[in-house]
Amino acid sequence: VTSGPTFEPLDPVRFLGNRSSGKQGHAIAEALALAGAQVTLVSGPVSEPPPRFVETVRIGTAQEMLDACLKALPVDIAVCAAAVADFRPEDVADKKIKKSGKDPMTVKLVQNPDILATLSQSNQRPKLVVGFAAETNDGMENAKAKLAKKGCDWLVLNDVGGGKVFGQENNIITLLKQNGSAETWPEMGKREVARGLVAEMAKLLKA
């Protein structure tokens, strides 16, 4: 299970990151462990405490998250709940960058590896790969396209428009599957969402 943000350094004191509390990912890791799974949680910088009964690997950057995920293979299930930074500064300064007058600054960004897509295409592909989509608009449309593009089996869509979801206790999700089904669940706590998803995973692995 991946969870939390990734922080991409710009210099020793600054980074590029994103809003993710890690609450949903951590809750899924814990729910899986309580259901009897052996769980590795690969977590970016969060204040959420490491869940019980789970091996937690702490990382900083997207590249470190990918390395930790590949090291954890083979697994039966991969859940990518992390809010990975899509880009990182191309150059990382080894000293704090100073202002030079009022000149505007340009930072060149390069793309980070896509962990979900890499796991979905791996020759050690897990039996079930679950991605998340945080969308502010046109959620269903974007989520369907993402499911096809990333090659995962399920996609959990949450609407993050207007400050919803990030850091909050509750979540409203739509679970989309490769077979075309899409089910919107009523609003519930992130722990309850986690238990629901784990129940679905157990059903699938049993079948």
d(CA 155, CA 144): 8
Work out whether 1 is an interface residue with ligand CTP (CB under 6 A): no
Work out whether 82 is an interface residue with ligand CTP (CB under 6 A): yes
Work out whether 134 is an interface residue with ligand CTP (CB under 6 A): yes
Work out whether 86 is an interface residue with ligand CTP (CB under 6 A): yes
Work out whether 176 is an interface residue with ligand CTP (CB under 6 A): no
**Residue for token digits 């059903």?**
203
Q: Are 97 and 18 in contact (CB under 8 A)?
A: no
**Residue for token digits 């910088």?**
45
16, 96, 100, 102, 146 from 92: Cα distances, Å: 11, 10, 18, 22, 30
Nearer to ligand CTP, 31 or 78 (CB): 78
Is the link from the previous residue into 51 a cis peptide, with omega within 30 of 0?
no
Work out whether 154 is an interface residue with ligand CTP (CB under 6 A): no
Segment interacting with ligand CTP (CB under 6 A) among 37-45, 92-100, 114-122, 171-179: 114-122
What residue ranges bind ligand CTP (CB under 6 A)? 2, 62, 80, 82, 84, 86, 112, 114-116, 131-134, 146
